[in-house]
Amino acid sequence: MEGVKIGIPRALQFYFYEDLWLGFFKNLGIETIVSPPSNKEIVKAGVAKSIDEACFSSKIFIGHVEWLLDKCDMIFCPRIENSAIREEYCTRIFGLYDLVRNTFPQAKILNADVNYLYRRREANAFEKIGEQLGFDKETSLAAYKNALAVAEEVKAEKIAQQDELLTADGAKVLIFSHAYNTYDACIGKEITDFFDANGIAVIHADIINEAEAKKLTKETYGKRVYWKVTAQMMGGLEKYRSKVDGIILISTFPCGPDSLFNELVLREIKDKPILSLVIDEQDASAGIQTRLESFTDIITAKRKLRKGGAK
Amino acid sequence: MTQEKIACAPQIGDYQVIANILISRCLGYKTIKCPPMTKRTLELGSRHSPDMICTPFKTTLGNFIEAAEQGANVFIMPGFGCRLGLYDILQQKVLTELGYDCEFVTLFEYIPTVRRMFNAMQEINPSLTQEKFDEVFALLVQVTLDMDGLAFFMRKNMAFAAEKNASQNPLMATYKSYLQEIPAAEDAEAAAKIGEKYRAQMESVPLNKPAKPIRIGIIGEIYIVVEPFSNCNMENWLADNGVEIIRHSSLSDFATAIFSVDEQIKNSGGYVDYNIGSTANDAISRAYEMIQEGIDGIIHVKPSSCSPEITAMSILQNISQDTGTPFMYMTFDTETGEAGVHTRLEAFLDMIKMRRPKGDYQQ
């Protein structure tokens, strides 16, 4: 397909697969357009088009799709149920394709199914996507493999950078949140920006080697935690909790996995200050700023106290 | 001396009967029924639960706290997927922090197969043989099918029992006495006999059923659908107001539904392509099927923040629009008031009646 332009919503799974997806299309020479960081208009459009009880992050996703509709030929919205056995995504995420299809019946969607329970592997999905764009299996597979290798490298680089940050002196907070919330301009960005501006290092629970995270979660909570992202975050929490001054839980209303595990974290961890922030479409940044300020006061005071005690 | 094990399953409609048969016969534990749900159950449950969690977590936790007060120390949860499969991790933590020493039995781990259920049972009771388990399982299947069959018949006809003046609907009374008698059934064969007896009894109840009564379908999340206290006795209200209730959600339907998602997708009129989680696909295909059969209206129920059913709602809205079938969406939480629910049902029923030729549903 010559000259086709693929639109990719900057929301939800995009934050897990950014490098893989963009690399894949780049390798095939396909033009892509990624929607801009979330803004008020996108949020407004998404909220208007969604069921009110849906989670805020998925409302934002719908807003991004709407933004892309008249700017591309196809919306890239693969249906990803899991990335291995016992590595499930939440039902909002694997229902996305059908949600988008029913919300925008006129949209053309570029889709493939990833479901390891049905032996539909990621590589096969990319072959199918390539096929829909007029590429043969070998070309698509090569493009996928190359993009995957690059994505793995980027991931390893991020982990190494964070390890360096961890050994540095100075105050640190651990962000316990899904990547699509942490980095979204209308959800977590404001929070991480606040810490950057105040010279406090931000550590991310989900930046961790996946195998290591899985092992840690299994040791602490048993093998039953079948949510991929949550298992990764819980592993990161176990690994980093002793090295930080405080923990921030960021969640959107009403998140399924977070509703269980944020509560577990709040009940489990008693030795660190924890701030739990739930974000929804009621824009209340003044309230969040106040809470972040008082949280910062607490961790700075605690650090001072510790230093005083050491003298 | 080790403490005596007293097991308890949450109140999920009338299905405690099933759980108790399984636990008492496979594990040899003493079983109790948790105290019937009241406002206190909801209050206790929601006080100790996270805000954003779906309603069944709060209500089952309330059940467990009340059962623990009565001495229960083993709690039964089905496991499986969605959030439900991981409820017990947090519920155990909460109960322990409240000072109750307890353990949880999870029937299915990740994938619900009979094999896994046997493994879970055998892990707790190593002397359980495959033979014994198969025998108990056959009994469970028989009881579940009979129970659901009786209840389906009851829902369809409850509104039309000729003797209305009795304090309890005669069909409901028959169903309740079945539930009283069944726990004593020796094996599947004996259970089948009891089932037949009550089936015959139910079918002999005189009915005054019009040719074309108002028919309302109920679909949605299984727990809220089958748990009358949690759905504000919605079905009783509908029956009292002369409605034939078509509801295919029950434990036996659920057990088949989770293995036939592909089938459901095929029967959804092209509105959905994939599994969208839990029983949401079942809800969509049932709705589509009921519409083909000319249902008057459909009520979709779910607990607050149930994510698969929220996805389903987006799809059901399109089906409703395209076919012109009225849908009503109801979300239940621990704060839902009965009066409000009944007002909405009344308005929905009035609207459906207005769509029908005058009075034809009474003839």
pLDDT of residue A309: 59
pLDDT confidence tier of residue A285, bands split at 50, 70 and 90: confident
pLDDT (average), residues B287-304:
95
pLDDT tens per residue across span A245-260: 999 999 999 999 999 9
Residues on chain A bordering chain B, Cβ-to-Cβ distance under 8 angstroms: 50-51, 53-55, 79, 81, 86, 88, 90-92, 94-95, 97-99, 101-103, 105, 113, 115, 221-222, 224-227, 251, 253-260, 262-264, 267-268, 278
Q: What is the 3-state secondary structure (H, E, C) of A185-253?
A: CCCCHHHHHHHHHCCCEEEECCCCCHHHHHHHHHHHHCCCCCEHHHHHHHHHHHHHHHHCCEEEEEEEC
| Bridge partners, A174 (sequence order) | A203, A247
CA atoms within 13 A on the CB side of B105: 31
| B82, B275, B313: residue with CB nearest A81 | B275
What tokens appear for A4 in the block? Answer: 């086709």
pLDDT of residue B313: 95
Q: Which chain B residues are Cβ-neighbours of A105 within 8 angstroms?
A: 318
Relative orientation angle of helices B130-157 and B114-124, to the nearest 10 degrees: 120
Torsion of CA B260, B264, B270, B274, to 10 degrees: -50
pLDDT of residue A311: 46
Tell me if A214 sits within 8 A of A242, measured CB to CB: no
pLDDT (average), residues B153-178:
88
Question: CA B222, B211, B352: angle at the middle one, nearest 5?
Answer: 55
pLDDT tens per residue across span B200-210: 999 999 999 99
Tell me if A230 sits within 8 A of A257, measured CB to CB: yes
Alpha-carbon span A173 to A247, nearest angstrom: 6
| A95, A102, A222: residue with CB nearest B277 | A95
Provide the percentage of residues in chain B whose pLDDT is more than 70. Answer: 99
| B90, B274, B318: residue with CB nearest A260 | B90
Name which of A212, A279, A276, A288 is nearest A247 in CA terms: A276
pLDDT confidence tier of residue B290, bands split at 50, 70 and 90: very high
pLDDT of residue B125: 92
Pick the CATH number of B6-128 from 3.40.50, 1.20.1250, 3.30.43, 2.40.400: 3.40.50
Q: Kindly report whether the peptide bond that precedes residue A254 is cis, defined as omega within 30 degrees of 0.
A: yes
pLDDT tens per residue across span A78-89: 999 999 888 999
Judge whether residue B238 has pLDDT over 60: yes
pLDDT (average), residues A8-21:
96
pLDDT confidence tier of residue A2, bands split at 50, 70 and 90: low
CB atoms within 10 A of CB B281: 29
Torsion of CA A115, A118, A121, A127, to 10 degrees: -100
Tell me how far CA of residue B220 lies from CA of A73, A249, B51, B203, B285, in angstroms: 36, 32, 22, 28, 11
CB-based contacts of B285, cutoff 8 Å, min separation 6: B263, B264, B265, B267, B268
Residues on chain B bordering chain A, Cβ-to-Cβ distance under 8 angstroms: 49-54, 57, 81-83, 85-87, 89-90, 93-94, 97, 109-110, 271-278, 280, 304-305, 307-308, 310-311, 313-315, 317-318, 331
Judge whether residue A237 has pLDDT over 90: yes
At which residue do the structure tokens 């059908």 appear? A98
- Can you say how many angstroms the Cα of residue A51 is from the centroid of all Cα atoms in its chain? 22
Burial of A286 (0-12, 13-18, 19+ CB in 10 A): exposed
Tell me if A83 sits within 8 A of A122, measured CB to CB: yes
* CATH of the domain spanning B210-363: 3.40.50.11900
pLDDT of residue A131: 95
Judge whether residue A208 has pLDDT over 50: yes
What tokens appear for B106 in the block? Answer: 């999870």
pLDDT of residue B335: 81
pTM of the predicted protein model: 0.93
The interface predicted TM-score (ipTM) is: 0.91
- Residue in chain A closest to B111 (alpha carbons) equals A86
CA of A308 vs chain B CAs: smallest distance (Å): 34
Judge whether residue B1 has pLDDT over 80: no
pLDDT (average), residues A24-49:
96
Amino acid (1-letter code) at residue B53: I
Taking all residues of chain B, what is their mean pLDDT, rounded to a whole number?
A: 92
Alpha-carbon span A153 to A163, nearest angstrom: 15
pLDDT (average), residues B316-344:
93
pLDDT of residue B103: 92
Judge whether residue B289 has pLDDT over 80: yes
pLDDT (average), residues B309-313:
94
pLDDT tens per residue across span B96-113: 999 999 999 988 887 788
Judge whether residue A283 has pLDDT over 60: yes
φ, ψ of residue A307 in degrees (nearest 5): -65, -40
pLDDT of residue A43: 96
Domains along chain A with CATH numbers: 5-150 (3.40.50), 168-310 (3.40.50.11900)
pLDDT confidence tier of residue B78, bands split at 50, 70 and 90: confident
Alpha-carbon span A120 to A142, nearest angstrom: 18
Tell me if B67 sits within 8 A of B1, measured CB to CB: no
Taking all residues of chain A, what is their mean pLDDT, rounded to a whole number?
A: 93
CB contact under 8 A, A98 and B304: no
Amino acid (1-letter code) at residue A99: L
- Residue in chain B closest to A255 (alpha carbons) equals B52
pLDDT of residue B109: 80
Tell me if A234 sits within 8 A of A220, measured CB to CB: yes
pLDDT of residue B112: 82
pLDDT of residue A199: 93
pLDDT of residue B231: 92
Judge whether residue B257 has pLDDT over 90: no
At which residue do the structure tokens 């923040």 appear? B305
CB contact under 8 A, B81 and A255: no
Map out the domains of chain B as residue ranges.
6-128, 129-208, 210-363
Judge whether residue A310 has pLDDT over 70: no
pLDDT (average), residues B183-188:
92
Q: Which chain A residues are Cβ-neighbours of B314 within 8 angstroms?
A: 50-51, 99, 102-103
Judge whether residue B197 has pLDDT over 90: yes
pLDDT tens per residue across span A63-119: 999 999 999 999 999 999 999 888 999 999 989 999 999 999 999 999 999 999 888
Measured on CA atoms in the order B348, B354, B357, B363, is the torsion positive or negative?
positive
Q: Which chain B residues are Cβ-neighbours of A79 within 8 angstroms?
A: 273-274
Name which of B84, B131, B91, B132 is nearest B110 in CA terms: B84
CB contact under 8 A, B307 and A263: no
Tell me if B308 sits within 8 A of A93, measured CB to CB: no
Judge whether residue B164 has pLDDT over 80: no
| B110, B308, B317: residue with CB nearest A95 | B308
Fold agreement between B6-128 and B210-363:
yes
